[in-house]
Amino acid sequence: MVDMDGQMAQWWGTVFLLAVFVAGALQGWLAWRQVRHVRAHRDRVPAAFAETIPLNAHQKAADYAVAKVRLSTVEDAVGLCVLLAWTVWGGLAVLHTALLQWLGAGMVQQLALLGAFALVQGVIDLPLSWYRAFVLEERFGFNRQTLGLWWIDLGKSFVIGMVVGLPIAAAVLWIMGNVEAWWWWAWGLWAGLNLLLLVVYPIWIAPWFHKFRPLEDVALRERVSALLERCGFAVQGVYVVDASRRSAHANAYFTGLGRSKRVVFFDTLLAQLRPEEIEAVLAHELGHFRRFHIHQRLVLLLGLGLAGFVLLGWASQQAWFFAGMGIVVEAGSHPALSLLSLLLLSPLLSLLLSPALASLSRRHEFEADAFAARHVRAQDLCSALLCLYRDNASTLTPDPWYAAFHATHPGACERLERLGCQTRQTP
């Protein structure tokens, strides 16, 4: 049996390393294709947009796309190196042993392990997060937050993570160590928390980070109310968020569940679009609800979560599973290590699922566009999209393979063609 476990550990270790290598190579290849494709089309606006997107805006979007991909490549490489450092290079085993010697076995040590892991990951992520905000976004004119506000947001996130995360982690760890078929109960707790957060986030958590005020423009509010009434959609309120304190990017979204549903407009969006275009963007977001995209994504999230807990339940009983990743622990003896092991594998699993998930998201965007076109003028949605493509510096020429893995929204040409819009008309 020992020999069999050793062989399985060796086999799994080989598969794990091969998966890391393949993931790194795939991410690098996709990034290379995106950079090459975008740069090849940088100096000429696609014919369909020649009269609506200036060349300098197109070039800015191309440069922005290339810069983001290059940074993502660095982030991916760092992520894979950190994954190896935690696993086959022994980082997680060292941290576990040190905390075990200091605190002894038990719930406190397991929570300390989760907390220490999260803290180390956060520190590793800080430099690239800072670079994204204060170098990349700053260079292209999108960053508006101060360094002080950035640190305040990090501090608030840490406090919320401690207040919400620690009790939930303790409950999950207790269930894992004391309940038969624990994955069902742990998943139920996790699912319930996600549903609860959909209700409480817009009311209690989001205001910690942003200021929300009711939409004050009377004419626009009446237009929005009329659209909501035509679509038979009730919300708790229509709000404007001070997104311009942090970024020049524009957006709008629905948030909440049940009676807590609310419409939120970025103040940057209101500054960039005409009232009829804002109405069209809202109609698109309504389409996501009316076509049950939010419900589908929620069911998908919960289903993937259940699959993850079932996988965790099986893997936690296999000593070779941990040994193959460089973690020496008796099977089933340490729930926190089991959780962290699956968490470390999640980027590889996400990459495997990304084409299917991205394809589903793009299909939902088409369906939401079609819904909007039935309730507002399609040309208004087209002009809004063109404005957002231009002002958010979204590239018009993504690489098809890169888009297949990463693009959650369809390409501009295909999207506007589906809407039947004349893109040569100035928005």
Active-site residue identified among 369, 380, 391, 399: 369
367 is catalytic: no
- C-alpha distances (whole Å) from 93 to each of 21, 104, 136, 337, 341 are 22, 15, 36, 9, 11
285 is catalytic: yes
Q: Is 288 annotated to bind ligand?
A: yes
* Contact by Cβ (8 Å): 425, 379: yes
Closest CA to 157 of 205, 86, 95: 205
Closest CA to 361 of 305, 281, 300, 286: 300
CB neighbours of 240 closer than 8 A, spacing ≥ 6? Answer: 212, 213, 214, 215, 216, 264, 265, 266, 267, 270
27 vs 350: CA distance, rounded Å: 12
Q: Is 406 annotated to bind ligand?
A: no
Long-range CB contacts (within 8 A, 24+) of 114-117: 114/169, 114/336, 114/339, 114/340, 115/166, 117/86, 117/92, 117/340
275 vs 286: CA distance, rounded Å: 16
Cβ density class 351-380: b for 16+ within 10 Å, e for less: beeeeeebeeebebbbbbbebbbebbbbbb
Active-site residue identified among 76, 277, 279, 285: 285
Burial (CB count <10 Å: 0-12, 13-18, 19+), residue 322: buried
Q: Is 409 annotated to bind ligand?
A: no
Rg (C-alpha) for the chain, rounded Å, is 24
Q: Which residues are catalytic?
A: 285, 369
Binding residue positions = 284, 288, 365
Binding residue positions for Zn(2+) = 284, 288, 365
